[in-house]
């Protein structure tokens, strides 16, 4: 089945210009429609729904700016490019503020027109794809609506659904900001305990002297300041789910007491002698590999073996970059509501930057960056508003570029995947050169685990020479 060709509407009262532009577009595999004045252009916009509008600013009757406004009323996502002999900075700024995609002056460079046209069509495809994915996700898994439409997230949800209906203790492994508590809540909501409470506890935020009181409760007078009896989180979570976040930060002494509670299903309040039966499902999370911590005696082995009934690993955002456009659009929509703004979307350079960045802070960082960019932007979020370096690696002066390879016969997904792969190969190659081929040091620089480095080197075909560093395996 042939893929539908994009259609370009060319509007200019100079017929020779229309012929030149039409020939350029046709050579690029695009269909063209032509109008010599505004009223005819408007009829075509209403009936044939083009994918790109190339329009002269100065036209008899309805001028280019009026056509732009009418076009935006019909299709908010339609990219409009002005080509005019009357170029001036004020006109360009006004056109962009009104929603034009770009602005070129006559006499125009043929290559520049082609480049701008492809870029505009690519951005339109991306926006439509995000809208389509958003519509597809409506009514689907709430977790997929929150995390994104990628196959990686779909597999994660499949694992989650498999374990949710059981009463297994689940270890959730993921980097900071990757969404561990979101996954834990999703497990609770999909379980038979969903009508019970979901009680989260951040083990890294509670001082060691107070952690046991927080978990198990205390009796009045058990210690200085214990003026009243207080039930612990195990009691509060009765019939529901207790989520222990960053459990690797729990002191070894507290780990021993937690293990006893899990084995006996009973708690003793601090300062108390009466056993209190508890019926709680336990979910735990860590940004470190608990198995490795147990092997190094940084975490109790017996507790790890007791907890390790099922493990879910949340992939970092850099390993599921297909979700970035969807998440960025969702965060922008939220920011527009919060800030009472109408920022329309992202420029091409902004999208390239989002794809190229390493995201050490994962989804949490992406949300923060988009929220701040929405505050700074007026019409479109640009690379300047993001305030991101393309690659967040200390000591590297490197800005990878998404290659403008021929886009004919490629789907948007294929274009994005090729670009992501090219950026990843360049990043890993340069970091490994910087570290002399030392994968462990490269992993620390990129803030990923050693396994990720090893898998990427193999997948991307990067050869590592101890003497000269890595090179691409051709």
pLDDT digits (tens, 9 = 90+) for 438-452: 777 777 777 666 667
Strand partners, 53: 9, 80
Q: Do the Cβ atoms of 350 and 343 come closer than 8 Å?
A: no
Q: Which of 388, 412, 435 is the last residue of a domain?
A: 388
The boundaries of the domain holding residue 325 are: 316-388
Stretch among 120-129, 233-242, 367-376 having the lowest mean pLDDT: 120-129
Say yes or no: 417 and 452 in one domain.
yes
- Domain assignment present for 206: yes
> Is 166 exposed, middle or buried, given 0-12, 13-18 or 19+ CB atoms closer than 10 A?
middle
Q: What is the tens place of the pLDDT at every residue in 111-134?
A: 888 888 888 887 787 777 666 655
CATH number of the domain residue 184 falls in:
3.40.50.300
Q: Are residues 294 and 163 in the same domain?
A: yes
Domain boundary among 135, 167, 184: 135
- The answer to whether position 247 is within a domain reads yes
Reported as a pLDDT band with limits 50, 70 and 90, residue 473 is very low
Looking at the structure, do residues 200 and 301 belong to the same domain, yes or no? yes
Cα 128 to Cα 140: distance, rounded to the nearest angstrom: 19
Residue 238 CA, chain-centre distance (Å), reads 35
Paired tokens of 238: 């009765």
Does residue 158 share a domain with residue 123?
Answer: no
- Let me know if residue 146 belongs to a domain: no
Q: Is the residue at 148 inside a domain? A: no
Q: What would the DSSP string read from start to end of 374-432?
A: HHH-SSEE-HHHHT--SS--TT------------TT--HHHHHHHHHHHHHHHHHHHHH
Cα angle 14-16-21, degrees, rounded to a multiple of 5: 100
**Which pair of structure tokens corresponds to residue 108?**
């125009």
Written as six digits, the tokens of 233 are: 């989180």
Measuring CA to CA, which residue among 257, 184, 171 is closest to residue 216?
A: 257
Q: What is the pLDDT of residue 186?
A: 93
Do 302 and 161 lie in one domain? The reply is yes
Structural domain total, the chain: 4
Report the C-alpha gap between 353 and 355 in whole angstroms. Answer: 5
CB crowding 200-211: b at 16 or more within 10 Å, else e: bbebeebeeeeb
CB 212 within 8 A of CB 271: no
Instruction: Specify the higher pLDDT residue, 471 or 96.
Output: 96
Same domain flag for 211 and 309? yes
* Region of poorest pLDDT, from 86-90, 179-183, 252-256, 417-421: 86-90
Residue 393 belongs to a domain: no
Residue 419 lies in a domain: yes
Q: How far apart are CA 102 and CA 68, in angstroms?
A: 12
At 298-327, the pLDDT tens digits run 999 999 999 999 999 999 999 998 899 889
What pTM does this model have? 0.60
**Residue-wise pLDDT tens digits, 176-228:** 999 999 999 999 999 999 999 999 999 988 888 788 899 998 888 888 887 88
Beta-bridged to residue 463, according to DSSP, are: 471
Together in a domain, 257 and 355: no
CA distance 72 to 323: 27
Q: Which helix (H) or strand (E) holds 135?
A: helix 110-137
Q: How, if at all, do strands 102-105 and 170-173 pair?
A: unpaired
For position 419, which CATH number holds? 1.10.10
Last residue of a domain, one of 268, 283, 313: 313
In 3D space, the residue among 350, 405, 408, 407 whose CA is nearest the CA of residue 376 turns out to be 350
- Tell me the two tokens of residue 92: 């360009």
pLDDT of residue 145: 81
130 located within any domain: yes
* CB-CB contact of 93 with 118 (8 Å): no
163 shares a domain with 301: yes
The CATH number assigned to the domain holding 25 equals: 3.40.50.2300
Q: Are residues 377 and 267 in the same domain?
A: no
Q: Which helix (H) or strand (E) holds 122?
A: helix 110-137
398-437 pLDDT, tens digit per residue, is 444 444 444 455 565 566 666 677 777 778 888 888 777 8
Same domain as 52, residue 123: yes
The answer to whether residue 378 scores a pLDDT higher than 50 is yes
Would you call 100 exposed, middle or buried from its count of C-beta atoms within 10 A (0-12, 13-18, 19+)?
buried
User: Are 383 and 431 in the same domain?
Assistant: no
Q: List the structure tokens of 75.
A: 């299709």
Same structural domain for residues 195 and 264?
yes
Contact 240, 280 (CB under 8 A): yes
Pair of tokens at residue 14: 């100079």
Q: Considering only residues 135 and 334, tell me which one the structure prediction assigns the higher pLDDT.
A: 334
As a whole number, mean pLDDT of residues 337-351 equals 86
Q: Are 444 and 434 within 8 A, CB to CB?
A: no
pLDDT in tens, 146-166: 888 888 888 999 999 999 999
SS3 category, 294:
helix
CA 36 – CA 67 distance, rounded (Å): 12
Whether 246 is in a domain gets the answer: yes
At 321, which CATH number? 1.10.8.60
pLDDT at 305: 95
Helix (H), strand (E) at residue 464: strand 462-465
Q: Tell me if 312 sits within 8 A of 172, measured CB to CB.
A: yes
């Amino acid at each position: 089945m042939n893929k539908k060709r994009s259609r370009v509407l060319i509007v200019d009262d100079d017929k020779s210009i229309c012929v030149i532009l039409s020939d350029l577009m046709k050579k690029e595999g695009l269909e063209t429609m032509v109008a010599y004045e505004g009223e005819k252009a408007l009829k075509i916009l209403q009936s044939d729904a083009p994918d790109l509008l190339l329009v002269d600013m100065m036209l008899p009757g309805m001028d280019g700016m009026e056509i732009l406004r009418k076009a935006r009323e019909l299709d908010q996502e339609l990219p409009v490019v002005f080509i005019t002999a009357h170029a001036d900075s004020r006109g360009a700024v006004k056109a962009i503020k009104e929603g034009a995609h770009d602005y070129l002056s006559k006499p125009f460079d043929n290559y520049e027109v082609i480049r701008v046209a492809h870029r505009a069509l690519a951005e339109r495809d991306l926006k439509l794809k995000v809208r389509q994915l958003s519509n597809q996700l409506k009514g689907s898994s709430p977790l997929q609506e929150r995390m994104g439409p990628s196959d990686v997230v779909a597999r994660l949800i499949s694992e989650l659904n498999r374990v949710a209906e059981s009463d297994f203790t689940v270890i959730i492994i993921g980097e900071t900001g990757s969404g561990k508590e979101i996954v834990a809540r999703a497990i609770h909501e999909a379980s038979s305990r969903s009508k019970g409470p979901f009680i989260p506890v951040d083990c890294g935020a509670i001082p060691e002297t107070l952690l046991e009181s927080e978990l198990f409760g205390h009796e009045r007078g058990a210690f200085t300041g214990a003026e009243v009896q207080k039930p612990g989180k195990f009691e509060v979570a009765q019939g529901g789910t207790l989520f222990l976040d960053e459990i690797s930060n729990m002191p070894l002494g507290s780990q021993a007491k937690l293990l006893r509670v899990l084995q006996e299903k009973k708690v003793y309040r601090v300062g108390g002698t009466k056993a209190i039966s508890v019926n709680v499902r336990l979910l735990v999370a860590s940004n470190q590999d608990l198995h490795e911590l147990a092997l190094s005696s940084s975490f109790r082995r017996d507790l790890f073996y007791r907890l390790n009934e099922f493990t879910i690993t949340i992939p970092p955002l850099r390993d599921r970059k297909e979700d970035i456009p969807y998440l960025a659009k969702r965060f922008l929509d939220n920011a527009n509501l919060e800030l009472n703004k109408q920022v329309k979307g992202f420029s091409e350079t902004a999208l390239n930057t989002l794809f190229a960045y390493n995201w050490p802070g994962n989804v949490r960082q992406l949300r923060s960056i988009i929220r701040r960019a929405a505050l700074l932007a007026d019409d479109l979020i640009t690379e300047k508003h993001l305030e991101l370096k393309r690659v967040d690696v200390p000591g590297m002066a490197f800005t990878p570029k998404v290659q403008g390879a021929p886009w004919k016969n490629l789907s948007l997904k294929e274009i994005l995947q090729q670009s992501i792969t090219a950026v990843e190969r360049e990043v890993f190659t340069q970091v490994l050169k910087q570290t002399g081929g030392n994968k462990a040091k490269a992993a620390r620089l990129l803030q990923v685990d050693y396994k990720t480095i090893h898998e990427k080197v193999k997948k991307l075909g990067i050869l590592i020479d101890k003497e000269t560093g890595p090179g691409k395996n051709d």
